[in-house]
Amino acid sequence: MIALAAPAMAQDTTRQGVHIGLNYQPGTKPGVLVLPIAGAGGDSAHTIIQRDLDFADAMNVITGIDQGIGDAAVNFPLVEKLGAAAVVQASLTPASLHIIVYDVAKKRVLATRDFAIPATPGNADWRMVVHDASDWVQQAITGSRGIAATRIAFIRDGQIYITDTDGADTRPVTQKGGGPLSPQWHPTGRYLTYSFFAPRGTQIAVLDLTTGGARALSATPTGLNSTPAFSPDGNSIVYTHGDEDGTDLYLVPAFSSDPARRITVGHGTDNTQPTFSPDGRRLAFTSGRSGHPEVYIVNIDGTEPDLLTPFQFGDDIYRASPNWSPDGRLVAFESRVNGRFQIETIALRDRTVRQLTSDGINEDPKWAPDSRHLVFTSNRTGVRQLFILDSESGRTRQLTLGGPARLSAWSRSLGSP
């Protein structure tokens, strides 16, 4: 049915500035056929790419087809009958993953690219290159980059773990002890910031994932310091500092010893869980200043605090753990609904609230870089685990297995431009 493309067809259209992306009906998902991949590790790469494209929720991945290899080029009429709008063909050498994407309707090569890949199939770096290739394939087909080449950090058994977005390569990155909490990613993916228990309260630390070394921020005061978040440029950290007069938000340089600067003045109330707007100019955070927890917005200099979530009276009202979407349109948060926490979003433009979950107790949402998917903690299986939700279709899949997992954070893309 299909043969390897001739070398003359292997042009990297993405590097020449040519517009890529299929033409297909808005609101529909293009069908994608991923062919078997030749070379050492090809079966694993094929499985990963198929799964990545499926988990993206933007394409219909065609499986269960007998994909024979012949001497001719792609049999476009046949693959079109199978429902494929695009065909993905790849091959592996010890140093390279070569990928061609075909546009079935136009019967031509849509895009092609080579990815440098480690020689040992299956290790973390090798898998990340394959994830990166999946994201590039998605961009070639839909015009929107995927989220496979990202990682999720979370807390389990008193340690920080990281995992790929398909749940593979899960491993601890801190030693037991110290009780780390609330990990958050640096924009580059090289660092994590988190809080930990210290002799005189809780402190903020920065972990270098490349070297494995961690350091406490010396500029933070003693006492309660928690829920840190890197600024979008990675140069600063906003965190919560608390004492007997309540808790407020402070800003501190991430990589110097300059003193911290106070942002909020809560007058004895609790102000915590900051999350940056994509442009770094504002923060969404949880505050009890109205008498119960609600989500507020404030400028980075502390001016113009504004209630974001709709104020209601009642003992059951509780809204917390905000997270600003990377595209700036939405803030996700947890809200108590009929006595149980659920994931909701609120639109910045018109303050429309939308409930996304209803099964079990669901907490602590964090956006993916595509502003479409969310990772959150849920007890729906009887044990707290992480789940990933597609906010457009409602499709939900379980990410973690084993011991309880909570307090997750989603990195930006770790792949190539």
Domain residue ranges of the chain, discontinuous segments joined by +: 7-142, 151-410
Residue with tokens 């075909």: 102
Asked if pLDDT for residue 141 goes beyond 60, the answer is yes
Q: Which CATH architecture has domain 7-142?
A: 3-Layer(aba) Sandwich (3.40)
pLDDT at 5: 31
Tell me the average pLDDT of the chain. 90
The pLDDT-based confidence of 113 (bands split at 50, 70, 90) is: very high
pLDDT, tens digit, 9 for 90 and up, residues 271-325: 999 999 999 999 999 999 988 999 999 999 999 999 999 877 766 789 999 999 9
Q: Do domains 7-142 and 151-410 have the same CATH topology?
A: no
pLDDT at 315: 65
Letter string b/e over residues 242-267, b meaning 16 or more CB atoms within 10 A of that residue's CB: beeebbbbbbbbbeeeeebbebbebe
pLDDT at 317: 86
pLDDT at 68: 53
pLDDT at 244: 79
Asked if pLDDT for residue 71 goes beyond 90, the answer is no
**Class of the domain covering 151-410:** mainly beta
Asked if pLDDT for residue 220 goes beyond 80, the answer is no
- Average pLDDT over every residue of 373-386: 97
The pLDDT-based confidence of 70 (bands split at 50, 70, 90) is: very low
CA distance to 88, 155, 221, per residue, from 37 (Å) = 10, 36, 55
pLDDT at 11: 33
Q: What percent of the chain has pLDDT over 70?
A: 91
- Mean pLDDT is lowest, of 44-53, 60-69, 169-178, for 60-69
pLDDT, tens digit, 9 for 90 and up, residues 233-248: 999 999 999 987 889 9
72 Rama class: left (phi>0) / alpha (psi -120 to 50) / beta: beta
Distance from C-alpha of 150 to C-alpha of 166, rounded to nearest angstrom: 10
Enumerate the β-bridge partners of residue 161.
154, 172
